[in-house]
Amino acid sequence: MAGTPAVAVLEKAKVAHTVRSYDPDHPDAHGYGEAAVAALGADPRQVFKTLLARVDGALTVAVVPVAGMLDLKALAAAVGGRKAVMAEPADAERTTGYVVGGISPLGQRKALPTVVDDSALQFGTVMVSAGKRGLQVELAPADLVRLTRARTAPIGR
């Protein structure tokens, strides 16, 4: 339907999902994740943003609720590292194949270590970027974790 690598991964794996489109320039939003929440009328604890950080120099994907922030120390600890810093946007785009604001944890150009905030597991479904600004995909958190080969840990605050 949407033609992004993220949606292709879901379709190939035959995972139940719903693609939701919205206006990425929603007037009530202060960021890309907030735009999705506002436009879709979703719970900000159930919509997750995909961030890239460098843990001890290695790119790592963090998936955290829009309602919170990434705890860099917790992310480093979750992957057995010592120090995490946010990745440069250009590095994130080049490595994932997606643009900032549309980075999906699914279907990235290069498989990276991924950590999903464990709060995702309390929901029947969660939403993450479908690989394009203005496109979210809703799926079961267990499918998200399985398809990204992620570990779960308390990395949001």
Q: What is the pLDDT of residues 92-125, one digit of tens each?
A: 999 999 998 899 999 999 999 999 999 999 999 9
The DSSP code for 118 is: G
CB within 8 Å of 106: residues ≥ 6 apart: 5, 6, 9, 10, 128, 131, 137, 144, 147, 148
Q: Which fold has domain 5-152?
A: YbaK protein (3.90.960)
Per-domain residue ranges for the chain? 5-152
**101 vs 154 pLDDT, higher one:** 154
Give me the percent of the chain exceeding a pLDDT of 90.
78
Half-sphere exposure of residue 17: CA atoms within 13 angstroms, side-chain side:
30
* C-alpha distance from residue 34 to each of 50, 75, 98, 138 (Å): 13, 22, 19, 16
**End-to-end CA separation in angstroms for the chain:** 34
Distance CA 17, CA 44 (A): 19
Determine the pLDDT at residue 87: 96
Half-sphere exposure of residue 132: CA atoms within 13 angstroms, side-chain side:
15
